[in-house]
Each structure stands twice: as C-alpha cells, then as structure tokens.
Structure 1
C-alpha cells in the first residue's frame, strides 16, 4: 500500500454520523483536503434503489467539486456505506468506479479504502 489517506478522528466521527443518519439507505459523500482530509462533504443519494446502491446527486456533486477547487482543496476520496454488508467493493462498485481517487466503504465490519476498479486496498491513517 504505497498510497495512504490521512484522516483526523473527528472527521471519521463526522462521516460515521452522516452515514448513520442515512441508514438504512446507503450514504455517499466526499473527503477533501490537501495532505490530509480537511472536509467531509455529505451528498444526497438519488439512486433509484438507495437501500442497495448510491448515486451522488449530480448538481450537488458539481457544486461541491467547484467549491473545493475555489478553496484550493483536492478531492481525496469518495465514501459510501454498505449498511447491511461488509466494507468490501460490490460488483456494482467495481463496475461503476470512474474516479481515480480511493473509494472508502463503510460496512457492518468497519471501513476500508480501495482504488477501484482494480481493488487495491489503500491504507487509512487515523490522526
């Protein structure tokens, strides 16, 4: 694992609170920052089957990406939840992966980060 995500514990708690509030639906959002995660950006899930999939609302996603750019922040990761399953990429996660940033999956067994679609795990270092 040569690439790592550096995440302050308070932002992990913020992410977990967002996803808990979305349950039993899947939640989705962005982690942004410079060298480490500095912001958690929850996004609306507009997937037609939100209990088993996620799709960030396109206009909210574009607005968030524009704001990050204006603030000099980079998109560091995309996170989503598997409220009823493991923190491991589903076949749909692999098929729909488009971004070249880690995908962080929160499941019933904790959370893990992966580069998709290849599935290489990325270390998350808690600060």
Structure 2
C-alpha cells in the first residue's frame, strides 16, 4: 500500500467535478491505477441519508473492482465528499472504514487523505 497518493491535476479536477454534481449529497468513488491515479470511478451513493453519509452501491462497487482487475489496475483510494464540512474523517467515517487503502475526503477546506480507522494522514501529491 502506498504511503503517498500521486494524482494528476486533471484527475483531481475530474473527481471534484463528480462530487460537485452530487451536492447537496455526499459523493463517493474510487481512484484506481498502478503507481499513480489513472482512473476516477464515480459510484452511486446508496446511503439511506446521502446528505450526511455515503455507501458505495454494492453492485456498482463490485463491477468497478472487477473492471479494474481486468485492466491490471489496483484500488489506490476511496474518495468521498463532505459538502458542508471539513476534509477530516467524521466519527462515522472512522467507525465504518473497512478497506486498507487511503480514504480521500473532499471538504469545504480542501482535499486530504487518511488511513482509517487509525487516522494517519497520507500526503496527496498533485502531478502536472
């Protein structure tokens, strides 16, 4: 697992555009690649209260993981938004963390990534 996330600026902006389209709901998706982010994979938010939480729709998530595997890509991170809050893990984010990849949070104050549930911040490095 990488201790740094490398993301091309255009893919960061593609992610931000996806999340902007989801407002006022939280958006969710995956970053896939080899050494750096190569694909942004938006997923439907199936959370019963999508304005305050996220849950990647299970069938879409499974389909995305299979597609990544066929393409030789690895799951590098899970991203989601906090449309009305900071880019910091909520107690729910920490409690529900299951994957051993960074969780990237887009908040009103920017973008940050964390290993959860421990809460260690992971650098996000923008590439040209």
The CA deviation at 1:84 is 0.3
Unpaired runs of 5+ residues, structure 1, are none
Tell me how large the CA RMSD over aligned residues is.
Answer: 0.7
Q: SS at 2:123's partner residue?
A: strand
Distance in 2 (CA, whole Å) between partners of 1:46 and 1:99 is 18
TM-score of the superposition, structure 2-length normalised? 0.97
Count of residue pairs brought into register by the alignment? 126
Distance in 1 (CA, whole Å) between partners of 2:38 and 2:99 is 19
- 1:30 corresponds to: 30
Provide runs of 4+ in structure 1 moved above 2 Å: none
Distance in 2 (CA, whole Å) between partners of 1:101 and 1:59 is 20
Distance in 1 (CA, whole Å) between partners of 2:100 and 2:33 is 15
Q: Deviations over 1:33-86 (max 9, x none)?
A: 000000000000010000000000000000000000000000000000000000
TM-score of the superposition, structure 1-length normalised? 0.98
- 2:6 corresponds to: 6
Distance in 1 (CA, whole Å) between partners of 2:35 and 2:43 is 22
Unpaired runs of 5+ residues, structure 2, are none
